[in-house]
């Protein structure tokens, strides 16, 4: 705490002791800015005084006014879509400027770690996603908006539920035990997790740093890539109000074709016959059933999603502001599930003087998510989705008296685990709420125009609570409640100095140095109970439980301290070099290994500036890039390297005592996981940069992987963690951005394609690591394997070899020992895709805009866990796809897809359940109309657009279940990929919306 107070004090003292004398001989400059096409006035043009924080923007008539301190000042005039102009004042008081249209995307500024740079001057591999793409369609998470937008970025949707988690992999999976998610940095603040605090409409741009030369400035947190998120800020000029709202109708993308009541009865009568049992249904019953009840229609619904966002921004040359507020209210396509987010944001910039500036930003949000027992880990109808698919269509959900039907007693042959879905919909809640705060303040001092001293501090805070309650009306329930709360706080102090100067018009030098400190404090508290007289109190009166649970609590703290530096040098706009270094110290690691060093370097050569290419009119830009560097991953939690005591309870002589015992994990002498990455790239621009092409090839080697190692019982410990292991990723990335048509009819396209290959190079003692543990009654085994020389997460199991004479599944005896044993398992699939891709097309004609966005994955396999119970597990009354009814083994159909319908059928984790997960999806399609507001009279409205769009309307795939976009076991540290385990399905939707500016 003393160190934290000292850092805060140093920031305050450093600012308020920085005094600057008032400038003399100040001059007011006025003028108007025009477009070169038709000499029309331009509104919203940025006008800044070079080397100072002063700035303003033109009003609706193109007029501006700005004060300069010197007659030798230079005005920097810029606007999106136009060439920047640097205009010397030369003692003038009236300066009119004409800007020429630009097709040069490379002049745009992109955000990099601790700074910005023109896109054309990048030496590393960086992808940018713009605001219009991020906000192209409604999404509950900003991470969903990244899918298909940038090369090298794979977005894995773990579940289709509202507000559910999304996993991001940049250039593959690096760690086995550690986190594989990228570092998210919002307005300069490195977050501890995903940016759920953000609303998509608040974001100005997202930059994705991919290679080591770009990410090494973040050191031990950059191995998985870095996602820089910049929120919208105010600009000098008139106050502007931006409003947008949308209403979407979501539906189930694909309904599964299961047996109707008559087919169900005939199917299980056949099973009874094959097992020498009395038929379950008489012919009269079968004839009376008809189609029966559709349980999918009971569980799935048409669900609305509503969004609303309001932004107010403006200011003058000294102070600029931006205020945002937004609401997202999404009901899930499964009844009873929903997600709500309310957020507020404030960004303030203030020029205290010509040399001192203040920036302040804060984001506040409240999220609530009512989750349901979707199904992962369920067996024979023991979860919401499993029950919706497995419930007999011969039965209805209600008894004649209106009570819930108990399915386990409906038939003598039915599963004893199956639960009427109404219990989950109406009698169980799992409400997660979180209040999040992210706040930043920064002081910048320019003693001379070329030097910037920046002192900044921030806080991230999350207060979360989960309330789970099962009522006394839930089948076989006496009432069950649990409450858990958690608090997370992170304090950040960053202090940097930047020097940027151009020498003799050919040499540009930018030098960055700094020191950072960040801590992470987590606390938790849990409680619960079973047995309630009634459901009035639910989770708000745990004391009324007849059997209280044992409460629990927790605390952890870790600290990271860093020194960083970077040098950027450019000669004659032709040769570019970047060198960076960061040294991180973490409290998590052992003595002697707390500090890690992460250097990087990059070179770029703008070949198009060479004399031998200057006369190639077609070629606008050609740049070659070469990068190398080290990044790291902490991969362990606090106190992992320390000997710990674990508390417990025991009874001795009839009394209860508290005990403390050593942990079953032996502390290890651990050091950082380190990733070395090499990258070579090329950037090409043709036709005055109307067509831009970029390509990269990279190799990433992650060594000193942290992994669990089992210990012999004689050691007194069960396991330990050691730095043993290595993983490699390598691949290609391609991207193209083209303005194909200009004029009245405009057509812009951009596309990307990424290929990544990974393999496990080394594991502890060469031992395999099995994952994806299943417990599905008839199948209890692992689905995935980590093995040296193979890709991460390969599916591992048995290979089928047809049926025997009785219609039972036969497995290949791979080791030829005459028996089917675990030694007969082999690789049965690969969840890693061959490539991922995205394609976006924007067309406009007069007042109409039309766009569509395609996104896809090719070559990945999925393991369909659902099919174990719902296509093979016969004899327990579970409903199944109609395909099983029509295409199963009989003496007359021995080449069937499914075995004989009998309880005696056995199954294993096998290639039967592995399916092609490739898909091509129409992610979004939109038609918009822009009203000609300039003809409405007055200047009270700037723009007005209405649109209709569709999301996920078309999906081309061979996958048999709900949706191929699934990753049930996904998570930040998961290497178990490609499982579909009764996952919440992805929805499709139609959206109506409006966007307006005032």
Mean pLDDT computed over 929-941: 81
- Comparing 103-112, 378-387, 987-996, the range with the smallest average pLDDT is 103-112
What pLDDT was estimated at residue 377? 60
In contact, 483 and 528? CB cutoff 8 Å: yes
With a CB cutoff of 8 Å and minimum separation 6, the contacts of 778 are: 868, 872, 873, 906, 907
Half-sphere exposure of 59 (CA within 13 A, CB side): 13
Structure tokens at 570: 């450019």
Print burial letters for 914-934: b (CB count within 10 Å at least 16), e (below 16).
bbbbbbbbbbbbbebebeebe
832 pLDDT higher than 90:
yes
Cα–Cα distance, 234 to 491 (Å, whole number): 26
**DSSP secondary structure of 579-648:** EEEEEEEETTSPTT-SEEEEEEEEEEEEGGGSGGGTT-TTEEEEEEEEEEEEEEE--S-TTTTS--EEEE
What integer is the mean pLDDT of 857-865? 96
Residue 171 has φ and ψ, to the nearest 5°, of 55, 40
pLDDT of residue 45: 84
Residue 733 CA to residue 681 CA, distance in Å, equals 9
Chain-centroid distance, C-alpha 548:
38
- Residue 36 has a pLDDT of 66
- 27-99, superfamily in CATH? Carboxypeptidase-like, regulatory domain (2.60.40.1120)
Is residue 986 within 8 A of residue 962, CB to CB? The reply is yes
Residues of the chain with pLDDT > 70, as a percent, come to 95
**Would you say residue 375 has pLDDT above 80?**
no
DSSP 816-876: -SSS--GGG-EEEE--S-SEEEEEEEEEEETTEEEEEEEEEEES-EEEETHHIIIII-TTS
Contact present, 444 and 497 (Cβ < 8 Å): no
pLDDT digits (tens, 9 = 90+) for 36-72: 665 677 877 888 888 776 778 887 678 888 888 888 8
Q: Is the pLDDT confidence value at 98 over 90?
A: no
Instruction: Check pLDDT > 90 for residue 345.
Output: yes
Asked if 782 and 771 touch (Cβ cutoff 8 Å), the reply is: yes
SS3 label, residue 743: coil
C-alpha Rg value of the chain to the nearest Å: 31
Mean of pLDDT values over 886-914: 96
Overall average pLDDT of the 976-992 stretch: 92
Residue range 409-424: average pLDDT? 94
- Stretch 237-261: mean pLDDT: 94
Cα(761)–Cα(728) distance, rounded to whole angstroms?
Answer: 7
Task: Check residue 372 and give its pLDDT.
Answer: 77
Angle at 532 between CA 529 and CA 533, to 5 degrees: 165
**For residue 695, what pLDDT band results from cuts at 50, 70 and 90?**
very high
Mean pLDDT of 713-726: 85
Closest among 835, 641, 811, 648 to 720, alpha carbons compared = 641
pLDDT at 10 over 50: no
Three-state DSSP state, 33: strand
Strand 943-957 and strand 919-930: pairing? antiparallel
In this predicted structure, what is the pLDDT of residue 81? 63
Residue scoring higher pLDDT (951 or 717) = 951
Q: List the one residue out of 985, 997, 982, 993 whose CA is nearest residue 384.
A: 982
* Mean pLDDT estimate for the chain: 89
pLDDT in the model for residue 938: 66
Going by pLDDT thresholds of 50, 70 and 90, the confidence category of residue 5 is: very low
CA proximity to 112, closest of 378, 431, 498, 480: 498
How far is Cα 866 from Cα 809, in angstroms, rounded to an integer? 18
More confident residue, 668 or 467: 467
Rounded to an integer, the average pLDDT of 853-882 is: 95
* pLDDT tens sequence across 513-563: 999 999 999 999 999 999 999 999 999 999 999 999 989 999 999 999 999
Chain segment 281-323, per-residue pLDDT in tens:
999 999 999 899 999 999 999 999 999 999 999 998 889 999 9
Cα distances (Å, whole numbers) of residue 992 to 161, 244, 820, 936? 21, 11, 57, 23
Q: How far is CA 143 from CA 147, 460, 736, in A?
A: 7, 19, 22
109-239 maps to which CATH number? Answer: 2.170.130.10
Could you count the other beta carbons within 10 Å of the beta carbon of residue 183? 25
Residue 34: predicted pLDDT = 85
Rounded to 5, what percent of the chain is helix, strand, coil? 10, 50, 40
Backbone angles phi, psi at 371, to 5 degrees: -90, 160
Among 182-186, 624-628, 743-747, 941-945, which range has the highest average pLDDT?
624-628
Determine contact, residues 570/503, Cβ cutoff 8 Å: no
Distances in whole angstroms, Cα of residue 954 to Cα of each of 175, 304, 345: 35, 20, 36
**pTM to 2 decimals?**
0.88
Every domain of the chain and the residues it spans: 27-99, 109-239
């Amino acid at each position: 705490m003393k160190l934290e107070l000292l850092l805060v004090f140093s920031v305050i003292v450093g600012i308020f002791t920085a005094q600057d004398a008032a400038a003399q001989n100040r001059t007011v400059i006025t003028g108007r800015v025009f477009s070169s096409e038709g000499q029309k006035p331009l509104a919203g043009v940025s006008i800044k005084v070079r080397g100072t924080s002063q700035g303003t923007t033109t009003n609706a008539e193109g007029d501006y006014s700005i004060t300069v301190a010197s007659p030798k000042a230079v005005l920097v005039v810029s606007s999106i879509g136009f060439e920047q102009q640097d205009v010397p004042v030369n003692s003038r008081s009236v300066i009119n400027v004409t800007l020429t249209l630009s097709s040069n995307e490379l002049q745009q500024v992109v955000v990099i770690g601790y700074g910005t740079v023109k896109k054309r001057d990048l030496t590393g591999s960086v992808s940018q996603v713009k605001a219009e793409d991020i906000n192209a369609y409604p999404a509950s998470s900003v991470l969903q908006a990244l899918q298909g937008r940038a090369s090298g970025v794979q977005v894995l949707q773990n579940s289709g539920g509202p507000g559910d988690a999304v996993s991001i992999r940049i250039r593959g999976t690096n760690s086995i035990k550690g986190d594989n998610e990228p570092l998210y940095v919002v307005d300069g603040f490195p977050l501890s997790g995903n940016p759920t605090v953000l609303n998509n409409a608040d974001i100005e741009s997202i930059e994705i740093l991919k290679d080591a030369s770009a990410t090494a400035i973040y050191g031990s947190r950059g191995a998985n890539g870095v996602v820089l998120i910049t929120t919208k800020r105010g600009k000098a000029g008139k106050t502007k109000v931006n409003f947008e709202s949308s209403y979407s109708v979501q539906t189930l993308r694909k309904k599964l074709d299961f047996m109707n009541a008559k087919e169900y009865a005939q199917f299980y009568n056949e099973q009874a016959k094959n097992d020498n049992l009395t038929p379950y249904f008489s012919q009269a019953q079968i004839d009376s059933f008809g189609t029966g009840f559709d349980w999918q229609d009971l569980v799935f619904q048409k669900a609305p999603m509503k969004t609303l966002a309001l932004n107010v921004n403006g200011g003058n040359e000294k102070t600029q502001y931006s205020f945002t507020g937004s609401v997202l209210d999404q009901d899930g396509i499964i009844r009873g599930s929903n997600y709500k987010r309310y957020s507020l944001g404030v960004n303030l910039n203030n020029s205290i003087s010509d040399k001192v500036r203040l920036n302040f930003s804060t984001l506040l949000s409240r999220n609530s998510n009512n989750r349901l027992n979707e199904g992962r880990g369920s067996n024979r109808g023991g979860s919401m989705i499993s029950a919706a698919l497995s419930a007999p269509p011969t039965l209805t959900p209600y008894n004649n008296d209106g009570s819930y039907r108990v399915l386990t007693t409906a038939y003598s042959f039915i599963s004893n685990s199956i639960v009427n879905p109404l219990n989950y919909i109406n009698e169980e809640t799992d409400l997660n709420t979180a209040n999040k705060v992210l706040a930043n303040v920064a002081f910048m001092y320019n003693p001379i125009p070329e030097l910037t001293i920046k002192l900044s501090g921030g806080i991230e805070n999350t207060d979360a609570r989960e309330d789970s309650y099962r009522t006394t009306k839930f089948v076989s329930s006496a009432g069950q409640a649990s409450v858990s709360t958690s608090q997370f706080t992170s304090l950040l102090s960053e202090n940097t100095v930047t020097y940027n100067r151009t020498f003799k018009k050919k040499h540009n030098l930018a030098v960055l140095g700094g020191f950072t400190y960040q801590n992470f404090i987590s606390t938790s508290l849990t409680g619960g109970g079973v047995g309630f007289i009634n459901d009035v109190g639910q989770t708000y009166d745990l004391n009324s439980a007849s059997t209280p649970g044992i409460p629990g609590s927790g605390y952890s703290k870790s600290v990271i301290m860093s020194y960083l530096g970077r040098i950027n040098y450019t000669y004659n706009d032709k040769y570019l070099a970047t060198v960076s270094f960061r040294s991180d110290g973490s409290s998590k690691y052992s003595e002697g290994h707390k500090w890690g060093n992460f250097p990087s370097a990059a070179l770029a050569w703008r070949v198009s500036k060479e004399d031998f290419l200057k006369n190639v009119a077609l070629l606008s830009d050609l740049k070659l890039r070469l990068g190398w560097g080290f990044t790291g991953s902490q991969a362990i939690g606090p106190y992992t390297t320390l000997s710990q005591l674990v508390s417990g309870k025991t009874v001795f002589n009839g009394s209860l005592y508290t005990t403390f015992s050593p942990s079953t994990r032996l502390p290890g002498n651990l050091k950082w996981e380190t990733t070395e990455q090499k990258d070579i790239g090329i950037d090409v621009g043709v036709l005055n940069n109307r067509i831009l092409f970029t390509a990269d090839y990279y190799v990433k080697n992650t060594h000193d992987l942290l992994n669990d190692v089992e210990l012999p019982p004689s050691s007194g410990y069960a396991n330990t963690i050691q730095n043993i292991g290595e993983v490699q990723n390598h691949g290609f990335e391609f991207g193209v951005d083209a303005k194909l048509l200009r004029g009245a009819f405009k057509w812009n396209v951009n596309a990307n394609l990424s290929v990544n290959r990974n393999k496990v190079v080394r594991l502890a003692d060469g031992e395999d690591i099995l994952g994806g543990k299943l417990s599905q009654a008839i199948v209890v085994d692992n689905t995935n394997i980590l093995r040296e020389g193979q890709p991460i997460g390969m599916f591992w199991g048995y290979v089928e070899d047809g049926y025997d004479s009785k219609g039972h599944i036969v497995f290949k005896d791979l080791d030829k020992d005459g028996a089917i044993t675990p030694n007969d398992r082999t690789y049965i699939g690969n969840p890693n895709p061959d490539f991922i891709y995205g394609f976006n097309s924007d067309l406009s004609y007069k007042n109409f805009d039309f766009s569509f966005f395609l996104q896809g994955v090719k070559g990945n396999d999925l393991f369909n866990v659902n099919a174990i119970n719902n296509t093979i597990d016969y004899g327990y009354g579970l409903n199944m796809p109609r395909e099983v009814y029509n295409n199963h083994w009989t003496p007359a159909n021995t080449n069937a897809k499914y075995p004989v319908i009998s309880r005696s059928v056995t199954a294993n984790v096998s290639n039967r359940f592995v399916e092609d997960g490739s898909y091509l999806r129409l992610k979004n399609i939109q038609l918009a109309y822009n009203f000609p507001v300039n003809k409405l009279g007055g200047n009270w409205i700037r723009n007005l657009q209405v649109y209709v769009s569709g999301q996920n309307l078309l999906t081309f795939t061979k996958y048999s279940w709900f949706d191929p976009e699934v990753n049930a076991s996904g998570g930040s540290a998961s290497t178990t990929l490609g499982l579909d385990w009764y996952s919440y399905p992805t929805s499709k939707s139609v959206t109506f919306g409006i966007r307006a500016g005032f």
